[in-house]
Amino acid sequence: FATALIQKASDRGCWLGAICAAPSILAHMGILDRRKATCHPCVLDEMGSAAVRRDEQVVVDGRIVTAQAAGAAFPFGLKLVEVLRGREAAEQVRDAVLYRG
């Protein structure tokens, strides 16, 4: 059921976000074929033809945002705010939560 919703969102051009091992689900579905992405190191072998950026915490390719793991949660969340609401909104959130990363 969840993969059907993800596929429908992808087909409609919606923004997709995946963190930790979740990018491997998008990879298994073919959504990350030949796209830049990142993920938790434990699922690197499951990323298919994705162009994995191992040294980047957060990667945006088109309307897909991926992140490595829990340690990337703040940068991931801020990037989601940025792509959905703009850089200024992301900076406001960053300042409000006193994030200094």
- Domains of the chain listed by start with CATH number: 2-69 (3.40.50.880)
pLDDT at position 101 is 86
User: What per-residue string of b and e applies to 32-70 under the rule 16 or more CB within 10 Å gives b?
Assistant: beebbbbbbeebeeebbebebbeebbbbbbeebbbbbbe
pLDDT at position 78 is 98
Active-site residue among 14, 20, 39, 42?
20
28 classed as catalytic: no
pLDDT at position 71 is 96
Residue numbers of the chain with a pLDDT score lower than 70: none
Active-site residue among 14, 28, 39, 40?
40
pLDDT at position 3 is 94
20 classed as catalytic: yes
pLDDT at position 4 is 96
* Per-chain mean pLDDT for the chain: 97
